Structure 1
Amino acid sequence: MKNMKALMFRDVGKIELLEIPVPRVTSPDQVLMKVSMCGICGSDVKILQGKHAFKKDTVLGHEFNGVVVEVGSGVTTLKAGDRISIDNNPRCGLCEYCRTGLSSQCELIKENTIGIYKNGGYAEYCIAPENVCFKLPAEIDDVVATQVETLATVLNGMNTIQMQAWDSVLILGFGPIGYLFTALAKNIAAQVAITEIDPFRYKIAQSFGVPAFNPEKCDLEAEVIKMTSGKKFD
């Protein structure tokens, strides 16, 4: 196990399939995994387009899962053979942001983000610290597990806004994030509606069991007033 295939981001508009060395466990807290499946995030597309922060010569991919191959001497919660998903944003836990509950703003995130600044899941193997690795239950297959990170983003948003049973909620856009927000919101809020202008996504939204509007083809304000009896959305 010396080399592996990896999709390497070279520069804007340029990505190459290469053979590079398999990463090695060099720290007690590291976990080496064999990647099972990796999703394609909108951020990956924007990196290729030059519309997102990036680091040249990095393996992209941060929505992935895999099987543990090797662990460092200090790892206590994982072992070879465990199926895991990761949080691709390792935090330092020591800076002011981390210590005040704002770890998403950690001062070292830009150095540590897996799949953007450090090699990620568009490869056969990837390495990550133990504290961002989470065991997957058997009932979550590899395809669904690519959305664990996406769902975590949505759950964080839900926890932040504290949606209530009497709320009226309008979800703007029906991409993966909007889809998951809708799936959760329609089981909590009194009223939920979706807006989407992309024809493919709009068609899916129409079959989701809540009102869907294309703002380019309707008077959205009038529809909102009608749906909420003049109250509008919360």
Structure 2
Amino acid sequence: MKAAAFIEPGKVEIHEVPKPSVSKPNEAVIRIVRACVCGSDLWWYRGLAPREKDSLVGHEAIGIVEEVGSEVTNVAVGDFVIAPFTHGCGHCAACLAGFDGNCLNAPAGGSAYQAEYLLFNNADWALVKVPGDPKSFSDEMLNSLLSLADVMATGYHAAVSAEVKTGDTVVVMGDGAVGLCGIIGAKLLGAKRIIAMSRHADRQKLATEFGATDIIAERGDEAVARVMELTDGGADAVLECVGTEQSVDTAVKVGRPGAVVGRVGVPQKSDMNTNNLFWRNIGLRGGIASVTTYDKSVLLNAVLSGKIEPGKVFTQSFALDDIQSAYEAMDQRTAIKSLVKVSTL
């Protein structure tokens, strides 16, 4: 089968590799219909994070179940499914607490979704079955369903972690796909005012469409000052969807005393000064999204009902053979998020 592989910083290419098959009772093989490139993929693509040469890449996809192990009963061959990157087992302490992104039985790695077929672990619980005939879904609906494999769930996790509630004023750090989905998440949880930090016109437009009430283009201390001008002492909740040192620092400063920062941006630095949290009673939580939990409880129904349309973050589409161009579009910011069409339904 064809699969995308990392070669060196700035270069990915398609390799021919063996098609996977089920060897364990809780596995499934999925024929990928659509995949995509994630902002976190850019860390190793840009050489900012280590990655082994020739390793297969990608962690977001939707597709059709082609084979299942003997213990997989919740999905069957022919089912249309969302394949979360998290592979939660559904029964460990983390999954039972609603944190399947930290599943204690999740496999190491699990990154090979930008391919024609995917071997999926913990398939019985982690896969999210989509009801209905997938051939009847529009391209727009398929795109939104794809977003539930990671980016929409991650944006929602930022809002949940920040404890967004009805009537809140929320600041969203980051105008990439996760930040934009964070705006959707904050609105779903009842935020009254959503301030998006963005300096790119196309992303500002989509942020407003998703529910942002205010746009701030400044960064650093100027951004903090603008938030304070617009709010009564700062935001009730802050969604940190970037991971850079500046973004985290600003996120802590724009919250009112007692605010909570929901952090989902992959950290660029391994440490941070928590003293700034202490002096203003700012809370900090977040991490890897609970994709299966959120999809099954809230997000899948919200997409199928048309309540949210997170698939709009996909602004360019590519064939699997053009995977290099898909990465370049994200790297050069000509695409908010690159869609990869792999096969037809």
TM-score normalised by structure 2 residue count: 0.57
Change (3 A) 1:22 1:50: same
Larger helix fraction of residues: 2
Q: Is the 8 A contact 1:34 1:66 kept in 2?
A: yes
2:204 equivalent to 1:202: yes
2:144 equivalent to 1:147: no
Q: Is the 8 A contact 2:10 2:45 kept in 1?
A: yes
Which of residues 131, 136, 140 is equivalent to 2:130? Answer: 136
Which stretch shifts more, 129-138 or 19-28?
Answer: 129-138
Over residues 132-187 of structure 1, what are the superposed CA-to-partner deviations in whole Å (9 max), with x where a residue is unaligned? 21112346833222210222222333332221223221111221111111123235
Please show how residues 64-143 of structure 1 align to structure 2 within 5 Å. Answer: 64-91=61-88, 104-105=101-102, 112-115=108-111, 120-129=112-121, 130=123, 131-138=125-132, 141-143=141-143
Q: Is the 8 A contact 2:180 2:206 kept in 1?
A: no
Letter in 2 for 1:189: A
Count residues with an aligned counterpart: 225
Over residues 92-145 of structure 1, what are the superposed CA-to-partner deviations in whole Å (9 max), with x where a residue is unaligned? 789886787765445675x52322xxxx22111111021321112346833222
Counterpart-to-counterpart distance in 2, 1:185 and 1:102 = 19
Higher relative contact order (CA 8 A, sep 6+): 2
Q: Is the 8 A contact 1:89 1:113 kept in 2?
A: no
Q: Give 2:276's aligned residue.
A: none
User: Which has the higher Rg, Structure 1 or Structure 2?
Assistant: 1
Q: Is the 8 A contact 1:7 1:122 kept in 2?
A: yes
2:11 equivalent to 1:14: yes
Alignment partner of 2:226: what SS?
A: helix
Please show how residues 137-216 of structure 1 align to structure 2 within 5 Å. Answer: 137-138=131-132, 141-148=141-148, 149-187=150-188, 188-206=190-208, 208=210, 209-215=212-218
Query: Which ranges in structure 2 are unaligned for 5 or more consecutive residues?
Result: 237-345
Alignment partner of 1:36: what SS?
A: strand
Letter in 1 for 2:116: E
Cα offset, 1:71, TM superposition: 0.9
Change (3 A) 1:169 1:26: same
Q: Is the 8 A contact 1:43 1:52 kept in 2?
A: no
Which of residues 35, 55, 58 is equivalent to 1:58? Answer: 55
Cα offset, 1:68, TM superposition: 0.6
Which of residues 219, 223, 227 is equivalent to 1:224? Answer: 227
Cα offset, 1:199, TM superposition: 4.3
Counterpart-to-counterpart distance in 2, 1:84 and 1:44 = 22
Q: Is the 8 A contact 1:6 1:19 kept in 2?
A: yes
Q: Is the 8 A contact 2:63 2:82 kept in 1?
A: yes
Cα offset, 1:220, TM superposition: 3.4
Counterpart-to-counterpart distance in 2, 1:74 and 1:106 = 19
Counterpart-to-counterpart distance in 2, 1:203 and 1:102 = 32
Please show how residues 36-47 of structure 1 align to structure 2 within 5 Å. Answer: 36-47=33-44
Q: Is the 8 A contact 1:34 1:69 kept in 2?
A: yes
Query: Which ranges in structure 1 are unaligned for 5 or more consecutive residues?
Result: none
Cα offset, 1:91, TM superposition: 4.9
Q: Is the 8 A contact 2:156 2:186 kept in 1?
A: no
Change (3 A) 1:99 1:11: farther
Alignment partner of 2:15: what SS?
A: strand
Cα offset, 1:219, TM superposition: 4.5
